[in-house]
């Protein structure tokens, strides 16, 4: 095996394959990329890149919930904010409701923002502590001239009630509320402008279990009543499975697996997903399942491993030198189920090509039982 650095073989450009294209998507992102420069040295020269989001392509349908799952450093939060142009993408396309979002400027962009909103993770920093919750919810109404004066007050009260709070709370300040209640205010704020699409960035991660359930139910009810589409970002797999129709698993800025929620949880093909699922503690002391404990840490997005970004921690029995050299393409290995792994058949990366890259083990299906039997 050669020790000198050999450039990796990319079987396809990142983001070139779009998992789960829809005929009539609400949101369409292609090859979305966000790199943050790493500045070091006296003059702050850019010496490297943090590839927070590295070529992500997706479609989100009307009134669907697309789940994004991953751990810290996988880029899911950056993805959510980049889609809304709260962070400007380095590359890529975003089409919302048929409109090219990246071409909009100023007023037009601000008008577009009505349709796409966001809910934040931390209920303690997502509300301005110096504004009453009524004023916070009202901002959207004022900015887009949806309502003013008494009509606006009325609307604010209605919104608060819709999310399960009392209308008269509008004059209170955030510190007077619990985490769950503040999260509801955040939802009311997002709803005020009547969006079609909401990026839910870990909306329940900071909440207690009993409060989580309340907010999850609320989000589902709102979706049903208003026909909202969600991009549901979370690291808690149980919550994502509960909420989402289709799920994308992200690792180091890329999508490594994409499938319907049911398929993903029943038959996770990507070794990372398998490990992720097996790591979730199950509130049932009796179940037997295979625990895959990954070795090592999540690598830094500033210095991703070559080839398959997961290869250093991968437990697939056929993992070998080819994994270090070939960047696996995202391939549809079952109907509606895309996976980026050259060792899970079927794969378009031929055995010959793998052998040329140093492979020693043939691809073979590896599907450990990582879930308790339901």
Partner 1 sequence: MPNATPGSLVAFADAAPAPLAPWAPGRLVALFRGDLTAALAAVTLVVIALAALLAPWIAPFDPAQTFDIAARTQPPSATHWLGTDQLSRDLLSRLLYGARLSLGISVLAVTVAMVIGTAWGAVAGYAGGWVDRVLMQVVDAGLAIPRILLLLGVVALWGTLSMPALVLVLGLTGWFTASRLVRAEVRATRERDFAVAARATGATPLRVLVRQVLPHALTTILVAATLGVGQVVIVEAGLSFLGYGVAPPAASWGSLIREGRALLGTAWWMSVFPGVGLAATVLAINVLGDRLRRVLGGQQLHAP
Partner 2 sequence: MTMPSRPAAGEPLLRVHDLRTYFHVGGAVARAVDGVSFDIRAGETVGMVGESGCGKSVTALSLLRLVDPPGRIESGSRIEFEGRDLLALDEEGIRQIRGNRIAMVFQEPMTALNPVFTIGDQVAEVARVHSNASRKAAWERAIEMLNLVGIPDPRDRAKSYPHQLSGGMRQRVLIAMALVMNPSLLIADEPTTALDVTIQAQILELIGDLQQRLGLAVLLITHDLGVVAEVTSRVLVMYGGQIVERAPVRELFRDPRHPYTRGLLEAMPRLGRQRDRLAVIPGTVPPPTRWPSGCRFRDRCPFAWHRCVDEAPPEYPVAAEHSARCHLVDDPSRMKVASAAGHS
The answer to whether the CB of 59 falls within 8 A of the CB of 22 is: yes
Rounded to a whole number of angstroms, the minimum distance from the CB of residue 91 to partner 1 is 20
Q: Which of 1, 297, 335, 352 binds partner 2 (CB under 8 A)?
A: 297
Report the helix count and the strand count for the chain, using DSSP H and E.
11, 14
Q: Which of 46, 86, 334, 367 binds partner 1 (CB under 8 A)?
A: 86
Residues 136 to 175: which contact partner 2 by CB under 8 A? 164
Q: Which of 294, 332, 353, 368 binds partner 2 (CB under 8 A)?
A: 294
Our finding on whether 125 is near partner 2 (CB under 8 A) is: no
**C-alpha angle 10/61/73, rounded to 5°?**
45
Q: Which of 225, 283, 335, 352 binds partner 2 (CB under 8 A)?
A: 283
How deeply is 65 buried, as exposed, middle or buried, from its count of CB atoms within 10 A (0-12, 13-18, 19+)? buried
Rounded to a whole number of angstroms, the minimum distance from the CB of residue 213 to partner 2 is 4
* β strands within 62-214, DSSP E: 65-69, 91-96, 99-100, 116-119, 197-201
The answer to whether the CB of 69 falls within 8 A of the CB of 240 is: yes
For residue 344, give both structure tokens.
Answer: 């899970």
The answer to whether the CB of 313 falls within 8 A of the CB of 304 is: no
Rounded to a whole number of angstroms, the minimum distance from the CB of residue 252 to partner 2 is 13
Q: Which of 148, 176, 262, 362 binds partner 1 (CB under 8 A)?
A: 176
- Per-residue interface string for the shown chain with partner 1, residues 182-201, x marking contact by CB under 8 A: ----x--x--xx--------
CA distance linking residue 273 with residue 123, whole number of Å: 29
Q: How far, in Å, are 65, 87, 272, 343 from residue 333 at the CA level?
A: 22, 33, 16, 11
CA distance linking residue 98 with residue 117, whole number of Å: 17
CA distance linking residue 85 with residue 14, whole number of Å: 21
Our finding on whether 16 is near partner 1 (CB under 8 A) is: no
- Per-residue interface string for the shown chain with partner 2, residues 21-60, x marking contact by CB under 8 A: ----------------------------------------
| 63 binds, options partner 2, partner 1, none, Cβ within 5 to 8 A by partner type | none
Name residue, tokens 């577009």: 112
Our finding on whether 233 is near partner 1 (CB under 8 A) is: no
3-state secondary structure 199-229: EEECCCCCCCHHHHHHHHHHHHHHHHHHCCE
Our finding on whether 239 is near partner 2 (CB under 8 A) is: yes
- Where do contacts with partner 2 occur on this chain (CB under 8 A)? 71-72, 164, 178-181, 208-214, 216-217, 220, 235-239, 241-242, 261, 265-266, 275-286, 291, 293-294, 297-298, 371-374
- Residues in the site for partner 1, rule: CB under 8 A? 81, 84, 86, 110-111, 113-114, 117-118, 120, 122, 125-131, 136, 139-140, 143-144, 165-166, 172-173, 175-179, 181, 186, 189, 192-193, 208
């Amino acid at each position: 095996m050669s020790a000198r650095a050999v450039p990796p073989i990319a079987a396809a450009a990142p983001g070139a394959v779009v998992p789960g294209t829809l005929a009539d998507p609400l949101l369409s992102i292609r090859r979305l990329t966000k790199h943050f420069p790493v500045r070091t040295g006296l003059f702050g020269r850019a010496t490297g890149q943090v590839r927070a989001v590295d070529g992500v392509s997706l479609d989100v349908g009307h009134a669907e919930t697309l789940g994004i799952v991953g751990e810290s450093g996988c880029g899911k939060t950056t993805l959510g904010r980049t889609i809304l142009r709260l962070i400007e993408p380095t590359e890529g396309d975003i089409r919302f409701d048929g409109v090219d979002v990246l071409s909009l400027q100023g007023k037009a962009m601000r008008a577009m923002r009505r349709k796409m909103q966001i809910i934040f993770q931390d209920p303690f920093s997502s509300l301005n502590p110096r504004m009453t919750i009524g004023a916070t919810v009202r901002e959207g109404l004022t900015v887009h001239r949806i309502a003013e004066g008494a009509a606006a007050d009325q609307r604010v009260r209605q919104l608060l009630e819709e999310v399960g709070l009392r209308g008269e709370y509008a004059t209170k300040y955030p510190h007077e509320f619990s985490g769950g209640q503040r999260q509801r205010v955040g939802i009311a704020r997002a709803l005020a402008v009547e969006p079609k699409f909401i990026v839910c960035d870990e909306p329940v991660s900071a909440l207690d279990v009993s409060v989580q359930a309340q907010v999850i139910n609320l989000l589902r009810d709102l979706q049903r009543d208003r026909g909202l589409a969600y991009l549901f970002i979370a690291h808690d797999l149980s919550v994502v499975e509960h909420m989402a129709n289709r799920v994308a698993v992200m690792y180091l800025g890329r999508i490594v697996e994409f499938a319907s929620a049911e398929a993903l949880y029943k038959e996770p093909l990507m070794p990372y997903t398998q490990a992720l699922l097996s790591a979730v503690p199950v509130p049932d002391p009796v179940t037997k399942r295979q625990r895959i404990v990954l070795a090592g840490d999540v690598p830094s997005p500033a210095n991703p491993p070559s080839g398959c970004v997961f290869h250093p921690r991968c437990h697939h029995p056929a993992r070998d030198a080819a994994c270090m050299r070939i960047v696996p393409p995202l391939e549809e290995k079952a109907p509606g189920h895309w996976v980026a792994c050259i060792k899970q058949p079927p794969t378009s990366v031929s055995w010959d090509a793998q052998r040329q890259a140093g492979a020693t083990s043939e691809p073979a299906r590896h599907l450990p039982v990582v879930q308790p039997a339901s």
